[in-house]
Amino acid sequence: MIIQRRRAGCGDRFMSSGRRRVTFLTLPLFLLLSLRSQIAVQAQADSNPPASQSTVNTAYTPSPANLAARKWFQDAKSGMFIHWGVYSVLGEGEWVMNNKGIPISEYEKIPPQFNPTEFNPAEWVALAKAAGMKYITITSKHHDGFAIFDSKVSDYDVVDRTPYKKDILKMLAEECRKQGIKLFFYHSQLDWHHPDYFPLGRTGHSSGRPAQGEWTRYLDYMDGQLRELLTNYGQIGGIWFDGWWDKPDADWRLDKTYKLIHDLQPQALIGNNHHRKPFPGEDFQMFEKDLPGGKTAEFNRDTEIGDLPLETCETINKSWGYNKNDSSYKSDKELLHYLIRAAGHNANFLLNVGPLPTGKIQPEFVTQLRAMGQWMTKYGDSIYGTRGGPVAPRPWGVTTQKGNKIYFHILDWQDSLLPLPNIHGIIRSARFLNTGRKADIIDTGQGLVLSIPAGTIDPVDTILVLEM
Ligand code: H79
């Protein structure tokens, strides 16, 4: 069998052996590329019939500002998740109230101990930027019900109950605006503290609340806090809901809540970590501790991928909120691989830090984030502004694409030849982004194969860039 071998250079054309001209396939490829980038900004109107009364019944047409924000979101690719609340004082994660069975009467003794005098929002935002992140998503209220902003519909917040007395979200929002970072708020629908979160759901049974309560009053309270978040902190990126799964059969009145948000700030993106296919009214879909479609986490068993922009979130160690006993840090390489694989799955990567009760971010996290940022400074072209590429994710790595460029991210491959499936059309140039060297691509007649010369493999990501 004769293998034709040609080098890709500027203007070079790849032709398969003999009769088949690969150039004929150029148009379909470009059509495919442009179609793919359109798909994610399409409305998620009424493609998902409501599963129960807990979902939304109203058809939703996203505003032009919302569609533009979705595109921005998809281009941004990397964000910082921040889990911070009074639970950081105990240093056992954000679920400590539930996990240790702490009743409200005891838990309420923690806020008076929360005094993060070393909190410097400028430092946090600068760190996110140094890590190559384009947005921050911070917990406005977690499942413990404690708000780290100045709420007027409750006094269970940082201004009224802690010696710190300052509105943390206001400080952070101002700094994000100054440094050009978008700010999203994580907001827990589940609430272990509010008396009207009744009947109880699957969690929070040791809180010691009376066995009564008015559910709609709780929903009014939640909408009240959301109104504050959408009114008092300037233009925000969006709301990241969590906790729906605590009461999957309850009437969450989502259509009213989502309408409130979209009316107040049409560009604000709504995502809900309910582990289901997106409901109407939502603007992006997140995956917790799994790449899109992955089902390694138990709660992702029933998750399906929808048509919205995607995001996957993960922790640096195993904890979201600060955990003093958790030193199981992932390596720089593992974190970068997660980010790169997410991009190849057409998803953003939202990486978490759980700051200390002092307001500092622990040095181990800072080191990791800076290392990631250094990589992004060098190779960000192959991530930012891209969409998932023409080859679906593989064990060896992923592909991304942007304009006329296709990036092969080779993450785990030991051999000197790698098949390049699904590449049709003229390849104008082929080179390794790491070294700038031209790449040899062999046309076997049955498909293209990349030759990886000895010494070319990069320990993190060997990136082949094809210009079409
Ligand atoms: O904020 C972080 C975590 O605190 C929160 N989401 C991230 C972003 C989170 N809450 N719960 N989980 C993650 C997973 C836990 C799920 C369980 Fe269950 C709750 C297992 C048992 C109770 C959900 C409800 C799955 C089964 C029942």
Q: Which atom of ligand 1 is nearest to the CA of 320?
A: 2
Q: Is residue 379 within 6 Å of ligand 1 at its C-beta?
A: no
Interval 198-230: pLDDT, tens: 999 999 999 999 899 999 999 999 999 999 999
pLDDT attached to residue 24? 26
Interval 305-341: pLDDT, tens: 999 999 999 999 999 999 999 999 999 999 999 999 9
368 pLDDT higher than 70: yes
pLDDT attached to residue 302? 84
Cα(247) to ligand 1 centroid in Å equals 12
Distance CA 62, CA 280 (A): 10
pLDDT attached to residue 57? 60
Under 8 Å between Cβ of 343 and 386: yes
Sheet holding 397-402, edge to edge: 387-388, 397-402, 405-410, 462-467, 429-432
Q: Is residue 203 within 6 Å of ligand 1 at its C-beta?
A: yes
2 pLDDT higher than 90: no
> Which is higher by pLDDT, 29 or 65?
65
pLDDT attached to residue 76? 98
Angle at 227 between CA 223 and CA 229, to 5 degrees: 115
Which tokens in the block code for residue 31? 């059509």
Adjacent-strand bridge partners of 92: 323
21 pLDDT higher than 50: no
What's the whole-number average pLDDT of the chain? Answer: 90
What's the average model confidence in pLDDT over 359-364?
97
Cα(237) to ligand 1 centroid in Å equals 24
Q: Whose CA is nearest to atom 6 of ligand 1?
A: 242
What is the band of 61 on the pLDDT scale with cuts at 50, 70, 90? very high
pLDDT attached to residue 388? 97
What is the band of 262 on the pLDDT scale with cuts at 50, 70, 90? very high
- Percent of the chain whose predicted confidence (pLDDT) is above 70: 88
- Cα 363 → chain centroid: 23
75 pLDDT higher than 70: yes
41 pLDDT higher than 50: no
Interval 126-173: pLDDT, tens: 999 999 999 999 999 999 999 999 999 999 999 999 999 999 999 999
Q: Which atom of ligand 1 is nearest to the CA of 352?
A: 8
Cα(273) to ligand 1 centroid in Å equals 9
| Burial readout 380-391 (b: 16 or more C-beta within 10 A, e: otherwise) | ebbbbbbbbbbb
Under 8 Å between Cβ of 225 and 187: yes
Q: Is residue 152 within 6 Å of ligand 1 at its C-beta?
A: no
30 pLDDT higher than 60: no
pLDDT attached to residue 148? 98
pLDDT attached to residue 55? 59
CA-to-CA dists, residue 399 to 161, 343, 436, angstroms: 49, 8, 18
What's the average model confidence in pLDDT over 98-114?
98
> Which is higher by pLDDT, 298 or 16?
298
Q: Which residue reads 């953003």 in tokens?
A: 348
What is the band of 54 on the pLDDT scale with cuts at 50, 70, 90? low
Peptide bond into 199 cis (omega under 30): yes
Instruction: State which of 205, 242, 303 you would mutate to test the pocket of ligand 1, scoring each by most atoms of that ligand within 8 A of its C-beta.
Output: 242
Q: Is residue 94 within 6 Å of ligand 1 at its C-beta?
A: yes
CA-to-CA dists, residue 324 to 94, 97, 374, angstroms: 12, 16, 27
What is the band of 378 on the pLDDT scale with cuts at 50, 70, 90? very high
